[in-house]
Structure 1
Amino acid sequence: MTSSPISKIILDGREFYVKRDDLIDPFLAGNKYRKLYSLLQTPSSKFNKIISYGGTQSNAMLAIAAMCKTKGWEFIYYSKPISQTQKSQESGNLFESKKLGMWHVEIENDNYKELISSLRVNLDDKTYIIDQGGADESAKEGLKVLANEIESENLDISSLATPSGTGTTALFLALALPKYKIYTTPCVGDVEYLKKQMSALYKIPDNLIILEPSKKYHFAKPYPEFLSIYKRLFACGIEFDLLYAPAMWKSLLEQTEEKVLYIHSGGITGNESMLQRYKTKGLNL
């Protein structure tokens, strides 16, 4: 794959660069492509089954489904029970993942943690488990490729930004680019949760700066200010996802001043269902 392009935008009077990883592939794009890079280079014959787990709005879930479709691997995804409304939706990440062949298994809340903890027991050598959100040390290889692409551009910037679920992308990008300042913000849980997730993979480097949101946001819940940022960015000519990007852009606008390169995380396939949720809540689209 050739290096993803870089766009320049003006948002609220500030100049930003955007690394267009969203253009890599409709489903297998953004930071999920980077996280799965190592597996994408793996011969199809090495595995026949991939297992993962998490929420049904997950961008990682859809990316893994796309990868498994390409590789001819079976994909089993575990989640907690979901509503009938979610099951009947004909758009969004769950719908697209199932179209790609994903087998979705719901586990009752009381049994969920135990089931996830037991996944690696008696695992055969043809099955590979990807932890929630793609939080895996194998992601390091793909983030190193991204780091090399960024360095080769010789941009007049020393600060990058990428939102965090598990923090895997931000962590390995910071490790690969020690001369750059890497901004991130927690989109799932709080700062302490994010630090715990990253520390489970590697020691957090000094150049990784976590911007704490101005208020507590619940993941995937519609917020007027998030929709506002989404629309302002869209007016700049780029569509960003509604789950992670608004929180990161809001923190950047409020807490930084310098020129920043934003790493587009992809995930815009989930916007159709999220925009419908905004509409249902009566928020102006």
Structure 2
Amino acid sequence: MKNSPISKIILEGREFFVKRDDIIDPYLSGNKYRKLYTLLKTPNDTYDTLISYGGTQSNAMLALAAMCQKKKWKFIYYTKKLSGTQKNEHEGNYVHALRLGMQHVEIENEYYKEFIASVRLHVNEKTILVDQGGAIQEAKQGLEVLAQEIRDQNSALHVKAVATPSGTGTTALFLARALPEFKVYTTPCIGNVAYLQEQMNALARIPDNLIILEPKKKYHFAKPYAEFYNIYQRLHVTGIAFDLLYAPGMWQALLEQTDEKIMYIHSGGVSGNKSMLARYKKKGII
């Protein structure tokens, strides 16, 4: 695959560069492609089943479903009990993942944490467990490939900082470790800074060049916020589609807390926008 291209945009009078990982593949794009790079290169007959867990808005869930369909692996995905609204949605990541062959299993909320902890005890040589959000050590190789692409393409741009939003922080962590000569900005889109640091430390030491920008107020993941929709609209006029789950929080932090030239690593995930826009409309924000 050729390197994903870089586009230049102007936002609030500032020049930014966008690494277009979102156009790598309709489903296996963005940071999910990078984190799953090693598994994508794994021979198909190595495994026959992949297990993961998390939320039904997850971009990782959809990417895993797409990968497993390509490799002809069974994909089992565990979540907490779904609401009636979630079950009746006709668009969004959950519906697309089901169409790609995902086998969805709901776990009662009070037993969910204990059940997930027990899953890894029953994994065998033909089954692989991918933790929520694609938080796996194997992600390191894919992020090293991305780091080298950034170096190669940056010779004419002279950017000294890159940015990527964080769920588990896997992408930001391994990218920062692979790009010690760059500042790597991120912000927690799920939980707070302490939670993000805990997730990162479970994978590897957090390097000094990784800068976590703390949101100025507490946001709940996947909940509609007027300021996020406002940023989404401003980004829309640049001609590049960004997701409504992760991108608004990262762009808000960059606009409020930085002032240098930055390369934003597009995380993909725009396939979930239809269901998110429906939530914004129901909330009265649109």
TM-score range (shorter-chain normalised) is: over 0.9
Q: Which amino acid aligns with 1:7?
A: S
CA shift digits 1:38-59 (9 cap, x unpaired): 0000000000000000001000
Amino acid in structure 2 at the alignment position of 1:157: V
The match for 1:211 is: 213
In structure 2, the residue matched to 1:235 is 237
Percent identity, aligned pairs only, is 65
For residues 1-285 of structure 1, what are the structure 2 equivalents within 5 Å?
1-153=1-153, 154=155, 155-284=157-286
Partner deviation per Cα, 1:137-194 (whole Å, 9 max, x = no partner): 0000000010010000112110000000000000000000000000000000000000
Q: CA deviation at 1:122?
A: 3.3
What's the TM-score once normalised by structure 2's chain length?
Answer: 0.99
Taking the aligned partners of 1:158 and 1:66, their CA distance within structure 2 comes to: 34
Q: Do the aligned partners of 2:123 and 2:129 also contact (CA within 8 Å) in 1?
A: no
Aligned AA (1:231): Q
Gaps of 5+ in 1: none
Q: What is the aligned residue count?
A: 284
- 1:186 counterpart letter in structure 2: P
Distance 1:180 1:87 in 2: 43
How far apart in 2 are the matches of 1:89 and 1:97? 12
Please give the alpha-carbon distance, in whole angstroms, between the structure 2 residues aligned to 1:149 and 1:63.
22
TM-score, normalised relative to structure 1: 0.99
Q: Secondary structure at the match of 1:271?
A: helix
Could you tell me which amino acid in structure 1 is paired with residue 36 of structure 2? L
- AA of the residue aligned to 2:178: A
| SS in structure 2 at match of 1:160 | strand
Amino acid across the alignment from 1:277: R
SS of the counterpart of 1:78? Answer: strand
SS at match of 2:121: coil
Q: Report Cα offsets for 1:89-111 as digits up to 9, x if no partner.
A: 11000000000000000000111
Listed as ranges, the gaps of 5+ residues in structure 2 are: none
Q: Which residue identity lines up with residue 136 of structure 1 in the other structure?
A: I
Deviating beyond 3 angstroms after TM superposition, the runs of 4 or more aligned structure 1 residues are none
Distance, in Å, in 2 between the alignment partners of 1:10 and 1:123 is: 48
Aligned AA for 2:203? L
Amino acid of the structure 2 residue aligned with 1:212: E
